[in-house]
Amino acid sequence: MDRSVRDLMTELPHTIGNDISIKKASEMMHEHHCHHLPVLHGGHLVGLLSQRDLKMAAAGSNNEDLKVEALMSDDPFVVKGNTPVRSVIEKMMADQMGSVIIQGEADKPWGIFTTNDALKLLVT
């Protein structure tokens, strides 16, 4: 498993602004069939929103007014594209993370590596 995370990542993932409603975020995830959205502010990565975050918010009452920034993880795991897949997967497993942001230029996400991408190793 000497491949880099770039070999298996999803390029140019869908992103969302930090000031968008969680209702819109949920709609976007459904529309784009994804479980993670890198969160941007002024074009720069500031966090990560997961389907799990949205499910926890749904358990509360009257949360439709909440913005993405209230639920997002503000310290997502970010790696360079040449990082070995094995080390990324080990970190994901150790910290129970469902995704990793692949660093682009100027703090913009270039890709995302998810548990689904990791599963590709079993069939390739």
Q: At what angle do helices 22-32 and 51-58 cross, to 10 degrees?
A: 130
CB 16 within 8 Å of CB 68 = yes
State the pLDDT at residue 43.
84
Tens digit of pLDDT for each residue in 38-97? Answer: 999 988 889 999 998 888 877 765 666 789 999 999 989 999 988 999 999 999 999 999
State the pLDDT at residue 44.
86
Residue 19 or residue 2, greater confidence: 19
Cα 65 from Cα 84, distance rounded (Å) = 40
Q: Report the side by side order of strands in the sheet with 44-50.
A: 16-17, 36-41, 44-50
* Global confidence as pTM: 0.85
State the pLDDT at residue 19.
95
Tens digit of pLDDT for each residue in 13-39? Answer: 899 999 999 989 999 999 999 999 999
State the pLDDT at residue 40.
92
Query: Helix (H, G, I), strand (E, B), or coil: what is residue 36?
Result: strand
State the pLDDT at residue 79.
93
